[in-house]
C-alpha cells in the first residue's frame, strides 16, 4: 500500500449513534467543523434513521443499514457540493440520528373542564387525563418542523408542547363522542381509540405517529357523582321500609354509646325504651297496634325512545303522561315486576290514563 493510500485510509470515519438513553428522539452526530470524510462509513441501526443536512438543507435520509458515503450514495450531496479533486475531498455536513422506536407513558390532561351535553344530566363539566405514545414517522419533517438546530432533542423537549396540543384536541373531541356521562368510565378503551383516531392526523403534520391514547380517569362534578350514588342506592335498597328500620336500629346503639353528656344518654335511653315498648307490644300478640308505616316509595323505569329512562316517581310519571311522553303502551318496570309491561296494564299506573276530560257537548 502506497503512502497516499495509507493517508486516504486514515480519513475514513465511522459515523454511528449508540443510544444509551430512554428519552432521546434526535441526536446530532458531533463532527469537528461539521467535516465528513469522503467514503466514511455510516452505520444506522434498527430503530434509527439518519438525516443528512448540508448548509441547512435536508439532503438525504438513510434507513437501517451500513453505507459508504460517496457520490453513489449521495447524489444530491454531490450536486450541492460541486465536488472537486475527483470527489475525494472532505465535505461539510450535519448528520442527525432519529430514534424511530415508540416512546410511551407520555402524560396528557384537559386544560380545564370540558362542557358536555348529556341526555340524563344536561350540561356537565368534565375533566380527564391519561397517557399517550408516539414515534417518529417522517424524520425529515420532524427535524424541519420541530427539532430545528437542537443537537440533542429529548421527549422532555416536546412533551409540554404536545401535552397542550393533545389536551386542547381532546377538549374539542370529547363532546362529540356521544358516550353518555354515566358510561364513560366503563368505556375508557373505546374512548381512547376514538380520541386517537380523531387526533392522529394533526400529529402527522409534525412528522410523528400517535400510536396510542389511554384515558385513565374521567372527573365528574360532585353533584353528578352524588346523583349516581343515590340512584344506585335506591336500586340496591329496594324496600325503603326495611332499610329505614335497619338504620333506626343501628342509630340506637351509636347514640347510646356516645359519651357526649346527659343529653346523649337521655336520647339513648329514650330510644331504647321506645324500642323496648314496641318489642313488648309485638311479643304480647299485638294487643296495642303499632302505628302504620308509610307505604314504600314507588319508582318506575320507562322505555322512552328505545332507551331506558328513570327512575321516576309517580308524580313525575303523571307529568310525563300529561305531556304525552309516556302513554298507556309505554313499557315500564319496577322492583318486584318480572318483566317490562305496558304502563296502562300496571295497576299502580292505570289510574294515570283514565283522568281524561269527557268530550265537549255537541261533538
What's the domain range around 44?
3-99
Q: Are residues 111 and 208 in the same domain?
A: yes
pLDDT reading at 154 higher than 80: yes
Q: What is the CATH number of the domain that holds 343?
A: 3.30.1490
pLDDT at 69: 78
Q: Report whether 250 contacts 268 (CB < 8 A).
A: no
Q: Is the pTM of this model over 0.85?
A: no
Q: Are residues 134 and 26 in the same domain?
A: no
Q: Report whether 300 contacts 320 (CB < 8 A).
A: no
**pLDDT band of 12, cuts 50, 70, 90:** very low
HEC string for the chain: CCHHHHHHHHCCCEECCCCCCCCEEEEECCCHHHEECCCCEEEECCCEEEEEEECCEEEEEECCEEEECCCCCCHHHHHHHCCCHHHCCCEECEEEEEECCCEEEEEEECCCCEEEEECCCEEEEEEEEEEEEEEECCHHHHHHHHHCCCCEEEHHHHHHHHHHHHHHHHHHHHHHCCCCHHHCHHHHHHHHHHHHHHHHHHHHCCCEEEEEEEEEEEECCHHHHHHHHHHHHHHHHCCHHHHHHHHHHHHHHHHHCCCCCHHHHHHHHHHHHHHHHHHHHHHCCCCCCCCCCCCCCCEEEEEECCEEEEEEEHHHHHHHHHCCCCCCCCEEECCCCCCCEEHHHCHHHHHHHCCCCCCCCCC
Q: pLDDT of 330-354, one tens digit each?
A: 999 988 888 999 988 888 888 888 7
* 194 located within any domain: yes
Which of 16-30, 89-103, 272-286 is the most confident on average? 16-30
Question: What percent of the chain lies above the pLDDT cut of 90?
Answer: 15
Q: Are residues 115 and 201 in the same domain?
A: yes
Q: Are residues 306 and 257 in the same domain?
A: no
How many Å apart are CA 183 and CA 167, to the nearest integer?
A: 21
pLDDT at 265: 41
Strands 41-44 and 14-15: parallel
Q: Of 66, 99, 132, at which residue does a domain stop?
A: 99
Q: Are residues 84 and 181 in the same domain?
A: no
Q: Report whether 162 contacts 134 (CB < 8 A).
A: yes
* 142 located within any domain: yes
| Cis ω for the linkage preceding 178 (within 30 of 0) | no
Q: Are residues 95 and 108 in the same domain?
A: no
How many Å apart are CA 229 and CA 277, to the nearest integer?
A: 36
Q: Are residues 60 and 129 in the same domain?
A: no
pLDDT reading at 28 higher than 70: yes
C-alpha closest to that of 52 among 89, 15, 107: 15
Q: Are residues 270 and 197 in the same domain?
A: no
pLDDT reading at 63 higher than 80: yes
Q: Are residues 109 and 216 in the same domain?
A: yes
pLDDT at 136: 93
Q: Which residue has the higher pLDDT, 290 or 74?
A: 74
Q: Are residues 262 and 349 in the same domain?
A: no
* 45 located within any domain: yes
Q: pLDDT of 303-314, one tens digit each?
A: 988 889 888 888
- Give the range among 34-43, 80-89, 174-183 with minimum mean pLDDT: 80-89
User: Can you read off the three cell numbers belonging to residue 272?
Assistant: 331504647
* 192 located within any domain: yes
* 359 located within any domain: no
Q: What is the CATH number of the domain that holds 197?
A: 3.30.479.30
User: Can you read off the three cell numbers belonging to residue 173?
Assistant: 373531541
* 12 located within any domain: yes
Average pLDDT taken over every residue of the chain: 75
Q: Report whether 175 contacts 110 (CB < 8 A).
A: no
The predicted model gives 269-298 an average pLDDT of 53
Q: Are residues 72 and 116 in the same domain?
A: no
* 251 located within any domain: yes
Q: Are residues 91 and 110 in the same domain?
A: no
Count of structural domains, the chain:
4
* 362 located within any domain: no
- Give the range among 9-23, 106-120, 232-246 with minimum mean pLDDT: 232-246
**pLDDT band of 292, cuts 50, 70, 90:** low
Amino acid at each position: 500500500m502506497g503512502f497516499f493510500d495509507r493517508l486516504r485510509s486514515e480519513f475514513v470515519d465511522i459515523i454511528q449513534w449508540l443510544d444509551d438513553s430512554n428519552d432521546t428522539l434526535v441526536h446530532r452526530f458531533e463532527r469537528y467543523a461539521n467535516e465528513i470524510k469522503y467514503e466514511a462509513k455510516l452505520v444506522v441501526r434498527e430503530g434509527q434513521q439518519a438525516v443528512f443536512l448540508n448548509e441547512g438543507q435536508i439532503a438525504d435520509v438513510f434507513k437501517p443499514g451500513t453505507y459508504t458515503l460517496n457520490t453513489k450514495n449521495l447524489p444530491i450531496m454531490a450536486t450541492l457540493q460541486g465536488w472537486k479533486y475527483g470527489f475525494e475531498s472532505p465535505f461539510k455536513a450535519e448528520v442527525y440520528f432519529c430514534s424511530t422506536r415508540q416512546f410511551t407513558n407520555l402524560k396528557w390532561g384537559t386544560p380545564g373542564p370540558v362542557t358536555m351535553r348529556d341526555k340524563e344530566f344536561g350540561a356537565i363539566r368534565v375533566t380527564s387525563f391519561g397517557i399517550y405514545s408516539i414515534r417518529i414517522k417522517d424524520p425529515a419533517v420532524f427535524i424541519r418542523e420541530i427539532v430545528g438546530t437542537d443537537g440533542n432533542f429529548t421527549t422532555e423537549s416536546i412533551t409540554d408542547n404536545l401535552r397542550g396540543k393533545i389536551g386542547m384536541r381532546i377538549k374539542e373531541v370529547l363532546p362529540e363522542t356521544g358516550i353518555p356521562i354515566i358510561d364513560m368510565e366503563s368505556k375508557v378503551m373505546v374512548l381512547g381509540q376514538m380520541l386517537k383516531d380523531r387526533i392522529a392526523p394533526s400529529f402527522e403534520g409534525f412528522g410523528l405517529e400517535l400510536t396510542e391514547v389511554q384515558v385513565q380517569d374521567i372527573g365528574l362534578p360532585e353533584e353528578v357523582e352524588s346523583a349516581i350514588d343515590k340512584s344506585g342506592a335506591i336500586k340496591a335498597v329496594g324496600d325503603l321500609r326495611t332499610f329505614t328500620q335497619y338504620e333506626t336500629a343501628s342509630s340506637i346503639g351509636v347514640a347510646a354509646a356516645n359519651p357526649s353528656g346527659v343529653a346523649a344518654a337521655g336520647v339513648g335511653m329514650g330510644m331504647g325504651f321506645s324500642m323496648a315498648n314496641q318489642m313488648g307490644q309485638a311479643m304480647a300478640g299485638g294487643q296495642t297496634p303499632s302505628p302504620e308505616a308509610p307505604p314504600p316509595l314507588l319508582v318506575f323505569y320507562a322505555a322512552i325512545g328505545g332507551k331506558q329512562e328513570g327512575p321516576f316517581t309517580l308524580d313525575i310519571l303523571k307529568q310525563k303522561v300529561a305531556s304525552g311522553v309516556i302513554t298507556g303502551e309505554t313499557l315500564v318496570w319496577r322492583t318486584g315486576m318480572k318483566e317490562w309491561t305496558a304502563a296502562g296494564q300496571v295497576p299502580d299506573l292505570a289510574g294515570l290514563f283514565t283522568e281524561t276530560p269527557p268530550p265537549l257537548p255537541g261533538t
